[in-house]
């Protein structure tokens, strides 16, 4: 008769929360637990090239699926993944980090066990995890299932990582399967606070046209439907921050563009900062998405909707959850008799002629052509740097999802995250945009991506070094140089067996490569796009200027 264990209980709870793939790297303290993952009928083990990549992959998966899991071994493995877990914490991505640890009996001896610091203290790394996770537990037999439920519930509610230290003997400890689903947190909105908020918002809005600035928390808090209902209730001009890019339909005539404070396109800046009434929904201003906090928004004309409270002017209403506040605003627009005037299309909506085929590639030509190549369903992952800021100002087709990491900003993140995103939605083709320097950090995962039978389009922007850093300081400094790779051979060397590789130095070569990518949906297509070393997207120039020593980005 098969024994049902604490490890099985944890896996069943993960499946309940929507997890179908578990990322990680084997180590002797987690091997028996991995046997249970492999044997589970509803889970697939995805072994990664290293722990950092595993964490990035889990992050990409969690952004699209709403929950992810990564397994490492004690000490060496969990510290290797810590950078990725910290990024998930900063950017509100629910990832469960499961650490296979020494048995409780072995820990009790306080001996110098491998992967420990040798001092008999086996909670060093648990204490570290408290700084980058929303809930933690070192599991013990008597309370393991209760603690698993507590940590998983917090991860689901707070949309941040959780940490479970699973000793080998606790993992195999016999227990009972879950008797009921994990209880959901309910009742987070006070009816009275919501009613007072609606009254204050009604008075401020009056007959004014509403303008909306939305950000990533709308997505993380599962309020996209409520936002779309608000935008459909009237003619509502709207924009997002770069953090929330693709949150709304960017092909809509009511979409203004990306707001980045003083670095915004002037029509977008005026529309947001001079709006008679502005709604900021799920907005978190960070340095790199706000033009270094250069936003000029008048609180007196602003309705700010946060995760658990909303403000109208200077009045604060709490507890009011974000979806409920958005619905209240929709009802206000639905009730009033006046309708706002339609928006006149801007110059951005005008189609452009393609460049001559012989024209050398530039940042502008590259991002224009890539944007034209995207189709509904693509998941675009743009690494922090010229890729992220080059694409940020371009309108994406409806149905395209954009993933970046503008707050944590760990270069190389998007390549393994593409694995997670691709497995989260295998019917959607990932498109990776990454600089040559960033790709060198995590490129090992290309082999795993091929093994998992994904067929992404990978665009490596070869601008010969760390261009963002060149823009900030050290234009020709040696520390911003990298070793030049032969990208035509990299994929095959890493075990990719079904791939096409292109090197594009002109518009025509790029056009040919992207045309071939569209014709070969079942193959990985790697395009090395060669652009000038000091060619920098305009948005990045504006954003980098305040960080350079003389206050202006060097070209």
Active centre residues (catalytic): 28, 51, 114-115, 409, 436, 463, 465, 469
Residues 6+ apart with CB under 8 A from 358: 506, 507, 508
Q: Is 480 annotated as a binding residue?
A: no
- Residues 55, 46 contacting (CB under 8 angstroms): no
Q: Interior CA angle at 545 toward 540 and 551, to 5°?
A: 175
* 151-162 burial: b if 16+ Cβ within 10 Å, else e: bbbbbbebbbbb
- Residues 266, 286 contacting (CB under 8 angstroms): no
- Token look-up 């409920």 returns 324
Half-sphere exposure of 343 (CA within 13 A, CB side): 20
CA distance 430 to 452: 13
Secondary-structure percent of the chain, ordered helix, strand, coil, rounded to 5: 40, 15, 40
Element (H, E) at 530: strand 524-530
Task: Indicate the pairing of strand 44-47 with strand 302-305.
Answer: unpaired
Q: Is 436 annotated as a binding residue?
A: yes
Q: Is 465 annotated as a binding residue?
A: yes
Element (H, E) at 81: helix 76-90
Taking the CB of residue 213, how many other CB atoms lie within 10 A of it? 27
Q: Please enumerate, by residue number, every residue annotated as part of a binding site.
A: 436, 463, 465
Q: Residue ranges for the binding site for Mg(2+)?
A: 436, 463, 465
């Amino acid at each position: 008769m098969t024994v049902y264990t604490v490890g099985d209980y944890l896996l069943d709870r993960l499946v309940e929360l929507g997890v179908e793939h578990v990322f990680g790297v084997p180590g002797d303290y987690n091997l028996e637990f991995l046997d249970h993952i492999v044997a589970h009928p509803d889970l697939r083990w995805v072994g990664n090239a290293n722990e950092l990549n595993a964490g990035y992959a889990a992050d990409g998966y969690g952004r699209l699926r709403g929950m992810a899991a990564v397994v490492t071994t004690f000490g060496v493995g969990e510290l290797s993944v810590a950078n990725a877990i910290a990024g998930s914490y900063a950017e509100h991505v629910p990832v469960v980090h499961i650490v296979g640890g020494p048995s409780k009996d072995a820990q009790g001896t306080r001996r110098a066990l491998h992967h420990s610091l040798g001092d008999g203290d086996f909670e060093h790394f648990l204490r570290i995890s408290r700084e980058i996770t929303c809930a933690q537990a070192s599991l013990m037999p008597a309370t393991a299932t209760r603690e698993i439920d507590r940590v998983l519930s917090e991860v689901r509610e707070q949309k941040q990582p959780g940490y479970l230290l699973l000793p080998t003997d606790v993992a195999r400890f016999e227990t009972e399967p879950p008797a009921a689903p994990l209880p959901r947190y309910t009742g987070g909105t006070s009816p009275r606070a919501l009613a007072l908020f609606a009254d204050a918002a009604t008075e401020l809005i009056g007959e004014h046209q509403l303008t909306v600035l939305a950000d990533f928390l709308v997505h993380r808090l599962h309020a996209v439907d409520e936002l779309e209902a608000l935008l459909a209730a009237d003619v509502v001009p709207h924009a997002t921050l770069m953090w929330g890019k693709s949150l709304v339909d960017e092909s809509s005539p009511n979409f203004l563009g990306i707001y980045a404070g003083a670095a915004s396109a002037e029509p977008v800046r005026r529309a947001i900062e001079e709006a008679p009434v502005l709604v900021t929904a799920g907005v978190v201003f960070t340095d790199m998405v706000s033009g270094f906090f250069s936003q000029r928004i008048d609180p007196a004309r602003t309705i700010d909707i946060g995760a658990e409270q909303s403000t109208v002017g200077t009045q604060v209403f709490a507890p009011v959850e974000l979806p409920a506040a958005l619905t209240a605003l929709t009802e206000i627009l639905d009730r009033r008799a006046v309708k706002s005037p339609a928006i006149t299309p801007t110059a951005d909506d005008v189609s452009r002629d393609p460049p001559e085929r012989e024209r050398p590639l530039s940042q502008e030509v590259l991002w224009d052509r890539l944007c034209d190549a995207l189709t509904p369903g693509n998941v675009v992952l743009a690494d922090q740097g010229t890729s992220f800021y080059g694409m940020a100002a371009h309108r994406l087709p409806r149905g395209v999802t954009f993933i970046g990491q503008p707050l944590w900003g760990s270069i190389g993140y998007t390549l393994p995250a593409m694995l997670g995103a691709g497995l989260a939605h295998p019917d959607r083709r990932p498109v990776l945009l990454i600089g040559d320097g960033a790709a060198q950090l995590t490129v090992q995962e290309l082999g795993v991506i091929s093994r998992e039978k994904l067929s992404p389009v990978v665009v490596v922007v070869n601008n010969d070094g760390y261009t963002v850093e060149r823009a900030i300081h050290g234009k020709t400094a040696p520390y911003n140089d990298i070793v030049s790779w032969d990208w035509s051979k990299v994929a095959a060397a890493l075990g990719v067996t079904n791939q096409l590789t292109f090197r594009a130095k002109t518009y025509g070569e790029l056009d040919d490569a992207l045309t071939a990518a569209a014709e070969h949906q079942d193959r990985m297509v790697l395009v090395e796009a060669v652009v000038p070393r000091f060619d920098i997207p305009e948005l990045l120039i504006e954003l980098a200027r305040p960080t350079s020593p003389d206050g202006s980005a060097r070209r």
